[in-house]
Amino acid sequence: MIGVIDYKAGNAPSVLNALRALNIKAELVSTPEALRPLTGIILPGVGSARATMDSLRELRLIPALEEKVFGEKTPFLGICIGMQILMEYSAEGETPCLGWLKGRVERFDGAVRIPQMGWNEVAFRRRDPILANLKEKEYFYFVNSYYVRPAAEEVVLATTNYGREFCSMLAWGPLYATQFHTEKSGAAGLQLLKNFALLAGGERDADETSHCLF
Amino acid sequence: MLTKRLIACFDMQNGMVTKARQFQNNIPIERAEVVADRVYREQIDEIIFYDITASAERRRIDLETVKKVARRVFVPFTVGGGIKSLEEMYQVLKAGAEKISIDSMAVRFPDLIREGAQAFGRQCIVLSMQVKRVGKSSRFPSGYEIMIDGARVATGLDAVAWARQGEELGAGEICVNSIDQDGTHAGYDLEITALISNNVNVPVIASGGAGHPSHVAEVFQKTGASAAIISSMLYSPLLPRNYSVREIKDYLAARRLPVRPWVEADFN
């Protein structure tokens, strides 16, 4: 079962809607206990790094998430703020983050409109199971004022240009993360979510009829 | 490179999409989720729904319809219509919308912009403004005044001053809806769209007046707009012909405007 972490500032319902349209069994989770049986975890995010970190702490989810990802190697997908908080530190509100990956989160500089809002091109650097049936470059929907700067180049799976080149997707072991909103990126976004669900042992839901299946 | 967005914007009443002409005569057309599903499959970049009578009827947004649309549409989805509290914003976001559009209520309670941005992030808050050409004066340096309540009530606010204030309060995006151009199909109001986009750093959406793909090309070439609302071109029965999203995108791409290309996608 895929679990989508639900917290007040997140957009978990949108991610759940997308998984349901793909006929993939998924549920909203907000307790450490509910994480245990999951074969894949999605951390969606909107809002600020600080609000997201505060919510995860309040829900006592951080040790349980670390056990799943680092202990059990459960596939994990962070989306938008859910990507940014994987770094050590975010310049947004000077927020210490999870530090699962070395690196920082920086603000786009003033030469571009902030937030970046819209469809931008994502160029993948290498093949990966999560990119099955996607072309080398695809358009995805972004809404962000900040971007990640991972310390290690090898975790960068894709880059995008907005005033500068930035890391728009990363992959390291069981960890995946997208700066773009894959749940709101039309056919390409649904394909990526489906790929994640498949590599995370997601089950097809026989009971629901889909109207947006690939 | 970041592409220019095409947004389908629908007025909704009792779960049905309606079409207004200069804020009058609403003609019911089709169920909201059916219309949304169709434009999603046509690869629209974004969708906005206004529950146009929620405010006048002093009732809450039709959350059931919001949920139905959100289950079928996997592009960003904005909802507006008389939203006046954080609790209502939360309900609409939980129903599956990404963004909240506020218009008249933001003029009445500017703190709504700030509180919404603080609670949900500024990217959630779209400040929609109805602008009317009134001529330049010391009171209206931009030459445009902000109107509210379905363009019926003048506020005395200058359009550019209000846009800047809205950005300062925390709006993540500003939708400039020209009352003069709305429903004319004669093109966007380039002057005020350019003026506002030059005066704020958040993305600006051009709205009101598009009737031909050349109007969309023009607003992107001549103003700093990041997005354009194209609803009437897609489906209005009042136009001599309608255009598909693909036709409009192809038209823009042929003029070297950056758009998310239409792709062969198997949605079934």
- Choosing from A106, A138, A167, A181, the catalytic residue is A181
Overall average pLDDT of the B167-179 stretch? 97
Q: Is the CB of B2 less than 8 angstroms away from the CB of A119?
A: yes
pTM: 0.94
Distance, in Å, from the CA atom of B198 to the CA atom of B3, rounded to the nearest integer, reads 18
Give A-chain residues touching B268 at CB under 8 angstroms.
211, 213
Instruction: Please confirm, yes or no, whether A211 is among the known catalytic residues.
Output: no
CA distance A71 to chain B (A): 32
Q: Which of A15, A51, A58, A6 is nearest to A181 (CA)?
A: A15
Domains of chain B: 5-254 (3.20.20.70)
Q: Is the CB of A186 less than 8 angstroms away from the CB of B74?
A: yes
Determine what percent of chain B falls in helix, strand and coil, rounding each to the nearest 5.
35, 25, 40
Distance, in Å, from the CA atom of A176 to the CA atom of A156, rounded to the nearest integer, reads 10
pLDDT of residue A212: 41
Closest residue in chain A to residue B198, using alpha carbons only? A113
ipTM of the complex: 0.93
Domains of chain A: 2-199 (3.40.50.880)
Q: Looking at this protein, which amino acid is placed at residue B99?
A: K
What integer best gives the mean pLDDT of chain A?
Answer: 92
Distance, in Å, from the CA atom of A57 to the CA atom of A45, rounded to the nearest integer, reads 15
| Cβ atoms A33, A139 nearer than 8 A | no
Instruction: Please confirm, yes or no, whether A181 is among the known catalytic residues.
Output: yes
Q: Is the CB of B3 less than 8 angstroms away from the CB of A211?
A: no
Confidence of residue B19 (pLDDT cuts 50, 70, 90): low
Please name the member of B2, B76, B121 whose beta carbon is closest to the beta carbon of A116: B2
Instruction: Please confirm, yes or no, whether A94 is among the known catalytic residues.
Output: no
Give B-chain residues touching A20 at CB under 8 angstroms.
71
pLDDT digit string (tens) for chain A, length 214 residues: 999 999 876 788 899 999 999 999 999 999 999 999 999 999 998 778 888 999 999 999 999 999 999 999 999 999 999 999 999 999 998 999 999 999 999 999 878 999 999 999 999 999 999 999 999 999 999 999 999 999 999 999 999 999 999 999 999 999 999 999 999 999 999 999 999 999 998 777 755 444 443 3
- Tell me how far apart the terminal alpha carbons of chain B are, to the nearest angstrom: 29
Two tokens at A132?
A: 């099955």
